């Protein structure tokens, strides 16, 4: 059992009875299963790269700043990720004609193909994750997670 003394009133908190460790462990389990499934199917893709492909599939030609915001990454982290994806030929970056400081990011044919191949795998992971959970429970969980997110970022819309 992990207990931490908090400064607010020196109240003892049992981390195993708080939400944080359970969220973190669940995310790690899902990420591991997703990566194993990609590897098993010969898809050279990370979760982070998959998120970028999804965002570009929804709106191709986003600029790097928009993509950083949508993927919740800082600019330098996103730049490194995009560089890897460019080397794999999943994306291309093109300098904006209006503002030379801005790079727009586009899916390549290979990037579209990889995204298409990843969809059934992602759908299977979602199915596995949601089995034995009713639609009501699912909606309740989504609402609870939105509340947790708003506790940290009250002025941001959570989708």
CATH of the domain at 91: 1.10.10.10
Sign of the dihedral through C-alpha 109, 84, 78, 118: positive
Task: State how far the Cα of 39 lies from the Cα of 1, in Å rounded to an integer.
Answer: 35
Domains contained in the chain, number: 1
Q: Is 145 helix (H, G, I), strand (E, B) or coil?
A: helix
pLDDT on residue 98: 85
- Taking the C-alpha atoms of residue 152 and residue 23, their distance in angstroms, rounded to an integer, is 15
Q: What is the pLDDT of residue 156?
A: 63
The verdict on residue 152 lying in a domain is: no
Q: Does residue 98 lie in a domain region?
A: yes
Inform me whether the pLDDT recorded for 7 exceeds 80: no
Q: What range does the domain containing 78 cover?
A: 3-127
pTM (two decimals): 0.81
Higher pLDDT, 158 or 33: 33
Structural domain includes residue 137: no
In a domain, 154, yes or no: no
pLDDT in tens, 33-42: 999 999 999 9
Residue 77 predicted with pLDDT over 70: yes
Q: What is each CA distance from 142 to 19, 29, 145, in whole angstroms? A: 14, 18, 5
Q: What backbone phi and psi angles, to 5 degrees, belong to 101?
A: -80, -10
Q: What are phi and psi of 67, to 5 degrees?
A: -65, -40
* 151 within some domain: no
42 lies in some domain: yes
| More reliable by pLDDT, 70 or 140 | 140
- The model's confidence at residue 97, banded by pLDDT at 50, 70 and 90, is confident
Q: At what angle do helices 47-58 and 109-130 cross, to 10 degrees?
A: 110
Position 32 in a domain: yes
- For residue 140, is it within any domain? no
């Amino acid at each position: 059992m992990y207990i931490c003394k908090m400064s607010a009133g020196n109240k003892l908190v049992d981390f195993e009875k708080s939400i944080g460790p359970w969220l973190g462990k669940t995310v790690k389990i899902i990420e591991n299963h997703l990566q194993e499934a990609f590897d098993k199917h010969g898809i050279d893709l990370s979760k982070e790269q998959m998120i970028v492909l999804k965002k570009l599939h929804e709106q191709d030609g986003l600029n790097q700043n928009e993509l950083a915001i949508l993927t919740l990454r800082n600019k330098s982290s996103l730049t490194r990720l995009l560089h890897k994806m460019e080397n794999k030929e999943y994306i291309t970056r093109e300098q904006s004609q209006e503002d030379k400081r801005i790079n727009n990011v586009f899916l390549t044919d290979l990037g579209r193909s990889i995204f298409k191949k990843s969809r059934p795998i992602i759908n299977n992971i979602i199915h596995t994750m949601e089995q034995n959970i009713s639609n009501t429970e699912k909606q309740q969980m989504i609402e609870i997670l939105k509340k947790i997110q708003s506790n940290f970022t009250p002025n941001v819309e959570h989708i």
